[in-house]
Amino acid sequence: MFQLDIVTLFPEIFNLTLNKGVIGRAIKNDLIEIREWNPRDFTKDKHKTVDARPYGGGPGMVMMYEPVCAAINKAKEKHKNSKVIFLTPQGKQLNQAAVVEFSKLDGMILVCGRYEGIDERIIESKIDEEWSIGDYVLSGGEFATLVLIDSVCRLLPGVLGGKNSANEDSFVDGLFDYPHYTRPEEINGRLVPNVLKSGDHEEIRRWRLKHALGKTWRARPDLIESIKLNDEQKMLLQEYIEEFENL
Ligand code: 4GM
């Protein structure tokens, strides 16, 4: 069972979201276990203080060492082998390759920041890795943590129905997904491409690969540069570019 321990001042955010859908089913089927730890429950003063003003001045508040570390330590008691991860704009940027590596762990202890940040000594002494979901700022780490949890859990054995659902996704081969169509055949004059109705599996495979390459090339030329295309892929992308430029 994959262990998820979340250190957060707002555990309700997780109860409301994770008990539904694919993740909710994985919890019910004992494929993952989620526990939440609120630093506020680990305070010792009567006001249950979790934050304080920053040394050196400046706006906002900083999460204090003691309650956050006590919460992390409590999570670690049962899950010594879990990796302690802090989601922060100052972390290494998450991608599908990193998500695949996380899915091979025994578990993760995810620390959610709030306010201006957390005391640096928490990072130095308790955090194994700092990760970011992208170059933007959120008011708390909870939504970034949900993104990481969702992306990792759907790769765990048994979580997605079909055996290959996760394998055939975008990014598995470094490319975007191909376009999908379902009923009806015509919508306001827009038709399903004929090849997808042909039953010719080889032609369908080539059409999908060509459009996966084309979509990636249009939106993310940097991704195309970063992967080594084989001869078939080079030819299909060339075909796509020529058709695109003649449009
Ligand atoms: C650190 C300090 C993660 C983190 C103060 C968290 C963006 C990301 C937070 C904080 C975050 C990200 C929480 N914002 N790009 N905010 O992964 O409030």
pLDDT digits over 43-72, tens only?
999 999 999 999 999 999 999 999 999 999
Residue of the CA atom closest to atom 3 of ligand 1: 88
The active-site residue, picked from 33, 66, 169, 239, is 169
**What is d(CA 16, CA 242) in angstroms, rounded to the nearest whole number?**
48
**Where do the CATH 1.10.1270.20 domains begin and end in the chain?**
170-245
Asked if residues 1 and 31 have their Cβ atoms less than 8 Å apart, the reply is yes
Pocket-forming residues, ligand 1, beta carbon under 6 Å:
87-89, 113-114, 117, 132-134, 136-138, 140-141, 144
* pLDDT score for 166: 74
* Neighbouring C-beta atoms of residue 66, cutoff 10 Å: 16
Specify the pLDDT at position 172. Answer: 65
Q: Check if 119 is active-site.
A: no
The tens digit of pLDDT for each residue in 76-103 reads 999 999 999 999 999 999 999 999 999 9
From the list 41, 66, 116, 130, the catalytic residue is 116
Assign 163 a pLDDT band (cuts: 50, 70, 90): low
Assess whether the previous peptide bond of 59 is cis (omega < 30° from 0).
no
35, 40, 154, 206: which is the annotated catalytic residue? Answer: 154
Contact assessment for residue 65 and residue 35, using Cβ atoms and an 8 Å cutoff: no
Residue 5 a catalytic site member: no
Round the average pLDDT of the chain to a whole number and report it. 96
| Alpha helix ranges (H) inside 133-220 | 142-153, 201-219
Angstrom distances, CA of residue 165 to CA of 21, 156, 171: 16, 12, 13
**How many Å apart are CA 89 and CA 118, to the nearest integer?**
13
Phi/psi of residue 239, each to 5°? -55, -45
* CA 161 – CA 195 distance, rounded (Å): 27
Whose C-alpha lies nearest to ligand 1, atom 18?
A: 114
Distance (angstroms) between ligand 1 centre and the Cα of 144 equals 7
| Domain 2-153, CATH | 3.40.1280.10
Tens-digit pLDDT profile for residues 192-243 = 999 999 999 999 999 999 999 999 999 999 999 999 999 999 999 999 999 9
Atom of ligand 1 nearest to the CA of 116: 5
Q: What is the average pLDDT across 131-142?
A: 98
- Give nearest CA residue, ligand 1 atom 2: 117
Q: Active site includes 106?
A: no
Phi, psi of 90 (to 5 degrees): -90, 10
DSSP 8-class letter at 114:
B
Helices (H), 156-230: 201-219, 221-226
Q: What is the CATH number of domain 170-245?
A: 1.10.1270.20
pTM exceeds 0.85 for this model: yes
User: Is 169 labeled as catalytic in the residue annotation?
Assistant: yes
Give span(s): CATH 3.40.1280.10, the chain. Answer: 2-153
* CA distances for 106 relative to 3, 5, 243, angstroms: 6, 12, 48
Are 62 and 116 in contact, with CB atoms under 8 Å apart? yes
